[in-house]
Amino acid sequence: VHYDGVLMDCQMPVMDGYAATRAIRQELSLKIPIVAMTAGVMPKDRDKCMASGMDDFISKPINWTLLRFRIRYVLRSAQVMKELVRSKDSLSSAQRIARLGSWEWFVPADDAQRSSQYYRLFGQHADTFGEGMEALVAHVYEPDRAMVQAALEGARQGIGYQLTYRVVWPDGSVRTLLETAERADDLAAESLGGLVMEGSAQDITEQVEAQRRIRQLVYFVPPSGLPNREFFCA
């Protein structure tokens, strides 16, 4: 059965509205808007309504015209939230398929917010990756660390970059990532003296390996692996 929302009275014979709301939120896990009708007019009554998980409430005696508009509002808000969740899920699926992860870095506080797919590019989870932007360096293949470190130092000054580097997974395998960063168009943050950088990273291991195989076929003789005529003419 599908429900668009719930309208209930806070005073009911078997279970009051507060307990009913908690049951809906916790036991049934139904993410639907709940509007309650209450005789309480004190701030503590309103706080109790919201603390139980209600989306809105209206005091008695009921103004039916106002109630109609309040219900329309919470239903519309719930629909907007559903659309946002769907958009977020779609973005996450697209990033997973494309092996693409994204991040946002509030530089003054060294607060790095990364997408879940970004951590997967390193074979990691959020709780094992590390805090701050510098945590990235520990997962980079050692010969590439200086290059990544230099790019991050430039990013601290608002300088964007695009670079290819290798990372080491916990199982020891090496993957190749292409990462791009640029200064975010966040005027609100910069008006407060904060620099925000944003970027994305993509796993290009298969592309790099395909290019290597193509080059091997073009310039070397199978199965000996010796250079061919094209190698010397290139």
**pLDDT (tens digit per residue) in 141-174:** 999 999 999 999 999 999 999 999 999 999 999 9
Global pTM reads: 0.54
Of the chain, the percentage scoring pLDDT greater than 70 comes to 75
3-state secondary structure the chain: CCCCCEEEECCCCCCCHHHHHHHHHHHCCCCCCEEEEECCCCHHHHHHHHHHCCCEEEECCCCHHHHHHHHHHHHHHHHHHHHHHHHHHHHHHHHHHHCEEEEEEEHHHCEEEECHHHHHCCCCCHHHHCCCHHHHHHHECHHHHHHHHHHHHHHCCCCCEEEEEEEECCCCCEEEEEEEEEECCCHHHHHCCCCEEEEEEEECHHHHHHHHHHHHHHHEECCCCEECHHHHHC
pLDDT at 59: 74
Residue 176 has pLDDT above 90, yes or no: yes
pLDDT at 28: 58
